[in-house]
Structure 1
């Protein structure tokens, strides 16, 4: 017996002993000493390696005997003190796995107690303070480099106070100074309310009969949600720390489903260095976007600092005064003119910048617009057309499938378009994320499938097998709801056939050109690698419904 323990100890201390082996021994071993040792070894692994097996760890904590639970708990508590995101995922998984009715009262109680501990402020790190106020989303990159009087994006005066109700959990305290307090809020309260709001929207959409009604309701609901942003909330499916500042509600779409109403939203965030310590960004009103974008583009066209004085002051009401037109006003007129002559084609950001610079160099700005010669306008349009990249074919709008158009649009084009329309788009730390919100479905099995796909992907990469699969992230929120990471730049085969009325080969020819072109051959190769990968997955896992 001692010899066996000696060999086991040598294995545990070797470089071969990884997190997957630790989980296996923790599950299979019946010896409390081995379980306690592995519980301590969890602290030696990288956080991201342990995070991958978090569902298994919490399942063991809930379902297995007390020795296993006692071995796991110190690590869970330690990590929850270090990370808000880890705390959230633990609380959500504990709630989802504890909801099974067959679990005994004692085991259910243990998972519930740990969940309550995580949701309380007892695990808050001692001595942590918020960063001092500054511009942008907390990551020095959000500073626009302007003087304090000219910044359009200031920290909220005090984001430390958030009450438990939805109206104040998501609302920045800078806009409501009466509720300010010296106490820190419950750490996870704003994020939990943000998630609850998204889930509640999904449940209300499921009661509506048509896709068109669901889409209209979704847009109006998200518009209301925007009034409570920015907030100390984040998208757990993202890989970097950030604050949610805005949801472009008009871009949201309802996805295809017979009984449920899953929907896709795009979320504007400001990246920060440390979510736990960075202050919540201040709200920028929608009507500030024009003055902000105009001012930030002037230096790029040779305007000196003296010309920018007062650019970020309150915009006066000029009514119909022609002299009050900004660069963006004229650009918008030109965009309309260009779009009328070129249906379905929209200028790129680079092209718009060239327009702005042309206006500055013309020496007749802004009233010179009226005196532009036809030849100059044509010349400018020709230069713009040369700068535009090839625009892929788009899908037509279908009330029964509103997601087709949104999913067909190239991701980079969507990011550019939303950024230009956003009051936060001028900030360097601005990012666009997307997520699918799903209610009424158990995503715990989807989470397990994600783990299996990640393992297969890792094996194929190590062995240099040229297969491609995309394991998308799953966030389990409860036993019947969750969030899913969308696959970018992808539409379903059903949508392709319905919209194009073409065979797959003909569609590839339409999208990528000549069958001997580099674009077509690359797309064909990628499709075969992906199709082969998922065929092999379905065979190995014996998936019978595809």
Structure 2
């Protein structure tokens, strides 16, 4: 009894965090404790729980006695339509490739969610009042009867899913378009999506004002990490001429640029404009056979010949990397900025000519849309990075990480926040006039603010070095590392981390993180004061991460048994190795020497250089 009383006092303690609650929910097996903790989750806002949706959904399906979680998630879906969309996408992805014995349960959950979204009530519950409009739009309850209000909710929810699906199917369909025709086909398809936006506005222009405003544009529930959006933002215009394909050997992701305004702002703009929907284009997109195209695409073509290359490299570790013959094959004149037009300048120009530019909440946004790509693993990596970023910020450490939003749409489609004012190291080496070294690039591009840019570089190098080491992130070639216009390094594309690596997990990239001679030179050289600053940041950050080891491990543990993610296929190994990398048994003094050892192992590591060499020889990545 005393033990139960102690638990109850702990659970009701005001400092009992959401992470602590989830930790206990994950560990405990008693019916009463599990039920109490699930009920306790109702005390937390939907926006906090939304971060852990993949983990909570996973626990619902795999942990016994957690059936009450469904009601909790449905209740939050009534309170927050943004939460409902995220839950829908995660459940859809889970249902596509879960164990057969769980598929019926997953489909039933999705059906209950759809009913809950439309009715704004839990399944089998009725309400005398009609459901409210989505996003708490203010309206007179007498303007529509309950049936019509439900119809509007159903139509808008269907519209949201349709537009999201169309955008993702474009990426899939582009795989079947010849390389030289892809950009034009992308613009053609996006123009038809833009026409659909306008046509939908016309269909609802005679409805009451809240309905007209709702159908002004779809809301895709995407939170941009560099923008402090307090309102729901609607897509009102797509710029197909600013969009472009990123062609890889296996997939065709693309960048889409679009205008948004807040749902709270009143007014409809283009009710009199003429937009004729191209039915042929819409039909093309709708009939994209995702399953068939997925079978035809060879996703591992990027690593063809990798195992043979590694075998030869192991025999000749002292062999010099291949000469970068295309370094002088650049397209940028000396008078042009390597960064091109800034996002802010582009935004200003577009706003001046846009019919929507008069709205105070108007913004330009960019997404990377990915088809034939399961982003659940990428999302998991970003959860870790977001948690690390929060840990560093709360400890007031000068360590930089740039988180970005990732939205899972299904087990083969998703969207990623576009990071403006950045270029990959590969692009810089390829296009910058007379590129010689990264250090010279810094000197020439930041002649008046070099020290600030150098400091930004070091602080971000510390952040991503720790992230790459702790999470065992691999495939760190120069197309997966960005540099922004302030000098920060930003890592992207986390397809290989924890227990998986390129080439069938042969583990050739054994360095704890990427630290090439060029990077060291920008930081002032191994014996320089600023390189010492880099190592101090590494130590400070590592010690702080160890203090929050339980929070980091919780993100992983709640994803067990990890059936759907390659990085968790050997779940116990993934968990044990993550814990081991945190060196929780070390004293602070021993950690000091450990960081020195990590830096020594990483600096100019021959395997890092050889991996870059392979990417250059096979994919042309500089």
CA distance in 2, matches of 1:481, 1:405: 34
Q: Is it true that 1:127 corresponds to 2:130 in the alignment?
A: yes
Post-superposition offset of 1:206: 1.3
- Residues 90/495 of structure 1: CA separation in 2 closer, same or farther (3 Å cut): same
SS at match of 2:369: strand
CA contact (8 A) 2:131 2:150 kept: no
Q: What pairs up with 1:94-243 in 2 under 5 angstroms?
A: 94-101=91-98, 103-105=99-101, 107-120=102-115, 122-124=118-120, 126-129=129-132, 183-186=151-154, 187-210=156-179, 212-230=180-198, 231=215, 232-238=217-223, 239=229, 240-243=231-234
CA contact (8 A) 1:243 1:270 kept: yes
CA distance in 1, matches of 2:169, 2:54: 25
SS at match of 2:414: strand
Q: Is it true that 1:505 corresponds to 2:439 in the alignment?
A: yes
Q: Is it true that 1:81 corresponds to 2:78 in the alignment?
A: yes
CA distance in 2, matches of 1:234, 1:10: 42
Q: Is it true that 1:410 corresponds to 2:342 in the alignment?
A: yes
Partner of 2:589: none
Partner of 1:354: none
Gaps of 5+ in 2: 122-128, 199-214, 224-228, 276-329, 477-622
Post-superposition offset of 1:416: 0.8
Post-superposition offset of 1:506: 2.2
CA distance in 2, matches of 1:263, 1:96: 21
Partner of 1:252: 243
SS at match of 1:435: strand
CA distance in 2, matches of 1:52, 1:8: 26
Partner of 1:24: 23
SS at match of 1:188: helix
SS at match of 2:67: helix
Q: What pairs up with 1:482-493 in 2 under 5 angstroms?
A: 482-493=414-425
Aligned equivalent of 1:530, options 449, 460, 469: 460
Partner of 2:561: none
CA distance in 2, matches of 1:499, 1:537: 29
SS at match of 2:29: coil
Partner of 1:342: none
Q: What pairs up with 1:104-503 in 2 under 5 angstroms?
A: 104-105=100-101, 107-120=102-115, 122-124=118-120, 126-129=129-132, 183-186=151-154, 187-210=156-179, 212-230=180-198, 231=215, 232-238=217-223, 239=229, 240-273=231-264, 281-283=268-270, 408-500=340-432, 501-502=434-435, 503=437
CA contact (8 A) 2:130 2:149 kept: no
Post-superposition offset of 1:458: 1.2
SS at match of 2:374: coil
Post-superposition offset of 1:441: 1.2
CA distance in 1, matches of 2:174, 2:36: 49
Please give the per-residue CA displacement for 1:154-189, whole angstroms capped at 9, x wherever unaligned. xxxx999xxxxxxxxxxxxxxxxxxx9994241410
Instruction: Quote the RMSD (CA, aligned, Å).
Output: 3.2
Post-superposition offset of 1:237: 1.6
SS at match of 1:428: coil
Aligned residue pair count: 380
CA distance in 2, matches of 1:123, 1:77: 11
Partner of 1:38: 37
Partner of 2:290: none
CA distance in 1, matches of 2:144, 2:461: 48
Partner of 1:3: 2
SS at match of 1:260: coil
CA contact (8 A) 1:80 1:87 kept: yes
Post-superposition offset of 1:449: 0.6
SS at match of 1:491: strand
- Residues 491/22 of structure 1: CA separation in 2 closer, same or farther (3 Å cut): same
CA contact (8 A) 1:219 1:249 kept: yes
CA distance in 1, matches of 2:398, 2:164: 38
After TM superposition, the score normalised by the length of structure 1 is 0.64
- Residues 287/422 of structure 1: CA separation in 2 closer, same or farther (3 Å cut): farther
CA contact (8 A) 1:396 1:499 kept: yes
Partner of 2:517: none
Partner of 1:58: 57
Please give the per-residue CA displacement for 1:410-442, whole angstroms capped at 9, x wherever unaligned. 121121122123221122232222111001111
- Residues 52/524 of structure 1: CA separation in 2 closer, same or farther (3 Å cut): same
CA distance in 1, matches of 2:356, 2:338: 22
Post-superposition offset of 1:91: 0.8
Post-superposition offset of 1:257: 1.9
CA distance in 2, matches of 1:200, 1:520: 44
Post-superposition offset of 1:279: 7.7
Post-superposition offset of 1:397: 8.3
After TM superposition, the score normalised by the length of structure 2 is 0.57
CA distance in 1, matches of 2:131, 2:118: 13
CA contact (8 A) 2:254 2:368 kept: yes
Gaps of 5+ in 1: 132-137, 140-157, 161-179, 289-394, 399-403
CA contact (8 A) 1:286 1:423 kept: no
CA distance in 2, matches of 1:405, 1:87: 43
CA contact (8 A) 2:167 2:369 kept: yes
CA distance in 1, matches of 2:49, 2:92: 20
